[in-house]
Structure 1
Amino acid sequence: MYKLLIAEDVRLIRLTLECSIPWSDLGIELLGSAENGEEALVRMEQEVPDLLLTDIGMPGMSGLELIEAARARFPDIKCLILSGLNEFEHARQAIKLQVLEYVLKPLDPSELEAAFARAVAELDKERWERRELELAGRTTKEKLPHLSGALQPDEWAGSLKKVKLAEQALEVMNVGFRKRDFALSDVAAAVGLSERYLNRLFKEVTGTTINHMIIRLRMEEAARLLKDPLTKIYEICDRIGYADQDHFRESFKKQFGLTPTEFRNTFL
């Protein structure tokens, strides 16, 4: 249920709004109504609504001023206007304030219901997108335990597609990193993106490049294999796609601060 606050200075209209609209059927909980903008702001401080329906022509603080003040304090609030003023300037200001709906008086309950149905659909969409972003973020961090935090949760809005593409690229790397000469070009071809764009996107999401991730995956696999004393180091090189043992030794030490032999000895 989404919470709604009404701001309307005419008592009869307030009562009509409260009683003539089946709010619960629309998925809305009516918090109550205020007779002016100042009172509405006080009510919002006590309990923040998801939706605000306000008249424009109220004494003191106008509805547009109320919306501007409310959005400054509560940026996520969705606002709808009920007005007897069919003037372009008011409509223009409403658009500037990102008002969802502009409903004209005299009040038509069916029109108002339709407007709130659209508002609820918009809130449902945003809620779903937030859940998807949070899930994508958790999944990405699970798959990338060394994630540097380059992309924080509150920065994921609008980045779901990028996160999904980065996850797809990571899946390709998890399958292919053991192949000799496996590189950025193979990952880009698999996900259907240019090498430059994919590398930039992957770094934006994870904080590291494709090539560095391939090396990391290889070194982590090598560390796992080194725990088995019966597996020869040259065999490990071959299994993770390295032809040169010196190159492998250098990469491993850079990753873990120990040579492969020193790392293995810590488990003996």
Structure 2
Amino acid sequence: MRVLVLDDEPLELDQIEILIHDHFPTWVVKKAQNYTEAMEVVDRSLQEDQPMQLALIDVKLPGRNGLEVAEKIKARIPQIDFIVVSAFQNFDYAKKSIQLKVVDYLVKPVIEKEFVTVLQSYVHEHPEYEIHSEVVQKMIRIVQSSYQDSLKLSDIAKELHMNANYMSRLFSEEVGKSFSDYLLGYRIEMAKSLLVKHKDWSIQRVAEDCGFNSQHYFSTTFKKLVNQTPKAFRK
């Protein structure tokens, strides 16, 4: 797991880094105290083809709202998730949170037990981020960068010069779900973001932009996984 921690207070940064290393020793943590440093970390991770996967961002930063920074980061890394940290308990960011994929909130001062619980919950929902196999990591990166295209495991196997059956079995063992189920779920997550971000887009356009050839299949799948139709979710 590659994590960006953005906070203008050095002591807070160090505390969060220590907590992560104590409880999630395999995670890579990058720290930033302002917008410029954060974007440098983001751009460097993209240059190295190792994009940040999770960002912990303080809402109140000097001269900038933390969610504005999150928006800039998401423009670079659409698949990134956010955990928002704030000294205030009144979070009035519902629509923006859906758009930015804010998965949870933490209130300052950060309490170790609550912090660990939030991250453990996140890992439980995203078991793929605890993967150590380079093959499966490559498969996930391909999904995240090419989910809009017609992706087939057989094509990825050819690209990686590997046996498709072996890759399928390895993916299922490490991620806990089949490759096709993971791809489908990822496309739906991207669709949820687009439905909120682009109110003027038709359902057909959202479906096509997320790799679905059929609006009917998209709507049926969306309702099955989200328990709402795309139209109802958008409201």
Q: Deviations over 1:207-242 (max 9, x none)?
A: xxxxxxxxxxxxxxxxxxxxxxxxxxxxxxxxxxxx
Structure label with greater radius of gyration: 1
Distance 2:185 2:98 in 1: 25
Distance 2:2 2:185 in 1: 28
* Residue of structure 1 in register with 2:6 after alignment: 7
Question: How far did residue 57 of structure 1 move?
Answer: 0.2
Question: How far did residue 76 of structure 1 move?
Answer: 1.3
The alignment status of 1:137 with 2:150, answered yes or no, reads no
Shift in alpha-carbon separation, 1:61–1:77, aligned structure 2, 3 A:
same
- Asked if the contact 2:58/2:66 (under 8 Å) is kept, the reply is yes
What TM-score do you get using the length of structure 1 for normalisation?
0.46
The alignment status of 1:97 with 2:100, answered yes or no, reads yes
Shift in alpha-carbon separation, 1:24–1:137, aligned structure 2, 3 A:
farther
* Residue of structure 2 in register with 1:157 after alignment: 183
AA at the equivalent of 1:138: S
- Asked if the contact 2:23/2:116 (under 8 Å) is kept, the reply is no
Shift in alpha-carbon separation, 1:110–1:81, aligned structure 2, 3 A:
same
Structure with more contact order per residue of length (Cα contacts < 8 Å, sep ≥ 6): 2
The alignment status of 1:68 with 2:54, answered yes or no, reads no
- Asked if the contact 2:88/2:107 (under 8 Å) is kept, the reply is yes
Indicate which of 19, 39, 56 corresponds to 2:37. Answer: 39
Shift in alpha-carbon separation, 1:40–1:136, aligned structure 2, 3 A:
same
Indicate which of 112, 123, 127 corresponds to 1:124. Answer: 127
Q: Deviations over 1:178-221 (max 9, x none)?
A: xxxxxxxxxxxxxxxxxxxxxx98xxxxxxxxxxxxxxxxxxxx
Shift in alpha-carbon separation, 1:68–1:136, aligned structure 2, 3 A:
same
* Residue of structure 2 in register with 1:164 after alignment: none
Q: Deviations over 1:156-190 (max 9, x none)?
A: 93189xxxxxxxxxxxxxxxxxxxxxxxxxxxxxx
What TM-score do you get using the length of structure 2 for normalisation?
0.52
Question: How far did residue 73 of structure 1 move?
Answer: 0.7
Distance 1:60 1:159 in 2: 37
Distance 1:96 1:22 in 2: 26
CA RMSD of aligned residues (A): 3.9
AA at the equivalent of 2:4: L
- Asked if the contact 2:81/2:100 (under 8 Å) is kept, the reply is no
Shift in alpha-carbon separation, 1:60–1:70, aligned structure 2, 3 A:
same
* Residue of structure 2 in register with 1:16 after alignment: 15
* Residue of structure 1 in register with 2:191 after alignment: none
- Secondary structure of residue in 2 paired with 1:31: strand
Distance 1:123 1:41 in 2: 24
- Asked if the contact 2:20/2:27 (under 8 Å) is kept, the reply is no
Question: How far did residue 99 of structure 1 move?
Answer: 0.4
In structure 1, runs of 5+ residues without a counterpart are 144-152, 161-199, 202-268
Displacement over 4 Å in runs of 4+: 125-128, 133-136, 139-143
- Secondary structure of residue in 2 paired with 1:6: strand
- Asked if the contact 1:79/1:99 (under 8 Å) is kept, the reply is yes
Corresponding pairs, count: 149
- Asked if the contact 2:17/2:29 (under 8 Å) is kept, the reply is no
